Amino acid sequence: MANTSCPVAAAALLLAASVSAQTGQNGDTDFDWGERTTSYPPSFDEQFRAPIVATPIDLDVETVVSGVVYPWAIENLPGDSGYLVTERTGTVRHLTSNGELSAPLSGTPEVHNEQQGGMLDVETGPNFADDRMVYLSYSKPTGTNADGNTMSATAVGRGRLADDFSAIEGFEDIWVQEPPAPEPLHYGSRIAFDEEGHVFITTGERFTFENRPLAQQLGTTLGKTIRVHPDGSIPEDNPFVGNPDANDSIWSYGHRNIEGAQVVDGQLVVLEMGPQGGDEINRIEPGQNYGWPLVSYGERYEQFGGEPVGTGQATIENAVEPIYFWDPVIAPSDFVVYEGDMFQEWEGDYLISALVAGGLVRISLGEDGRVEAEERLLSDVGHTRDVEVDDDGSLLLATDQEDGRILRVSRP
């Protein structure tokens, strides 16, 4: 679902065509949710279709740079050092604050660039000011199978960003998903850090009917969130340490495809792409099961019969409920928790980049941690892959296109 050349993504786009047909740069109170794909009732009122609101402000959108090939992630560098941008095709580039895009940085890993595979997330490490360490997630080629198909796995590694921004020096993997798979789909993957410096990595279950049950198997790292130290070693308090049948790096399990992640008030929060219907916001509790592929608020894609997922239920005992879900889907790709001076009305809100809804989806939460309002913004800019807050509080958006753009959203 990460690009429209994939049949899964095309199905999702057709499904949610009515969702993306909004106009205007401000929020739209006349927004039409569209028809549901399933009839599963939410477990609590605030879990689904929060009141649609519109912020009474104008927004300016300007192109910082165009010609970025399927940009996947933007990372704001400290000071006036510009940004790092990944291109799914396999490169990392430096972008100056003046909009000058560098040649591809040297020293980056080889990627499996096919469908949803390629260069994915980029994050500066928690001690970047001292060590200039940069972390990358990507689809790592691991050989071929008996049929001659390339095998690949989600991987995360790190290296030092050169002082002149021309290279990532000494790059090495700190974590590689197990087992690899031939399907170039559902890699995840975002990187997030907590205040103690732990590295959280999100993954996918690699899509197929054969692979997805592995999301429930603790001996694999498909369909899991991962928690490691910056060098890839395992924290002793990870929930499955000491379990001989589990991978020690696992933090939670039962996930489909997580492309958004932030640590919020010390807790990992993720955005999870559902099937046909059933995109989710999940707060991650260590060691817990999030249900996929046993349960979902969505259903299988039409080309696979449109049948119920797993048990045919949206909930099951001992599986954690999402705090919010969408049906039809928005295809959430990443989000930020807004902190800044420019849009003080949105302080603490989730601003979500979305491949199907387009533009931004804003989620406002109440003091009880439940969703109290939703806003759709800038849907006319099309599919967005990442969102970042700049130092002045303006927003940077990456559009998911072959001739992709980095956009700046600000007040007039």
Among candidate residues 112, 186, 255, 383, the one labeled active-site is 186
The arrangement of strands across the sheet holding 224-228 comes to 191-193, 199-202, 224-228, 250-253
Helix (H) and strand (E) counts in the chain: 2, 23
d(CA 291, CA 304): 20
Bridge partners (DSSP) listed for residue 155? 138, 176
φ and ψ at 214, to 5 degrees? -65, -15
- Does 198 participate in catalysis according to the annotation? no
Q: How far is CA 234 from CA 11, 231, 270, in A?
A: 39, 9, 21
Q: Which long-range contacts (CB under 8 A, 24 or more apart) does 352-355 make?
A: 352/260, 352/271, 352/387, 353/260, 353/384, 353/385, 353/386, 353/387, 353/397, 353/398, 354/330, 354/383, 354/384, 355/1, 355/2, 355/9, 355/12, 355/330, 355/331, 355/383, 355/384, 355/385, 355/400
φ and ψ at 77, to 5 degrees? -85, 150
Cβ(334)–Cβ(387) under 8 Å? yes
Q: Supply the residues annotated as catalytic.
A: 186
